[in-house]
Amino acid sequence: MADQLKGMKVAILVADNFEQVEMTDPREALDNEAAGTYLIVPHDGEVQAFKHDMKGDKFEVDMTLSFAEPDEFDAVMLPGGVFNADKLRVVRQAQDFVVRIDELGKPVAVICHGPWLLVSAGLVGGRTMTSYYTLKDDIRNAGGQWLDREAVWDRNWVSSRNPRDLPVFDRLMVDLFASYWDATGRKRKAA
């Protein structure tokens, strides 16, 4: 454990039926760097994960979106999963959350279908990113540039395509978050 993100608060926004490994693997990478990770969901209780097309595990919710204040977090991570992303993209509180995080120049890490929330929030214009290949038209139609790469770092965002790319995504996410944070818990700079 390097502790380079010690004291950093990372919001992980999901709805039911998110792709389990796209939450658990990046969360573990953040935990290994001593970041505090918080599973934030539109509802109380537990949230259901999926493993591709089958039910996965259930996870305890740390906070509901109605109580989550983006100013109190230092970064956001958006897992994918088609059903999760399709549900979350129309939740106004989720849109407002990512808009505020981006306005403050805080880091955003997003994978697979997760960019749908960024599209619906009106944040993709002028950005270069990647995603699951079926979102390329959504990103281009929203004014973004889509690349078919394992991961893309554009200013304060890191994006990735799918679970196969998690090793690269996790490394770049930690590097992006560390560029904003130092081990003493002080913000270095807006990315």
Q: Tell me the catalytic residues.
A: 112-113
Output the 3-class SS for 83-150.
HHHHHHCCCHHHHHHHHHHHHCCCCEEEECCCHHHHHHCCCCCCCEECCCHHHHHHHHHCCCEECCCC
* DSSP 8-state class, residue 172: H
Burial of 46 (0-12, 13-18, 19+ CB in 10 A): middle
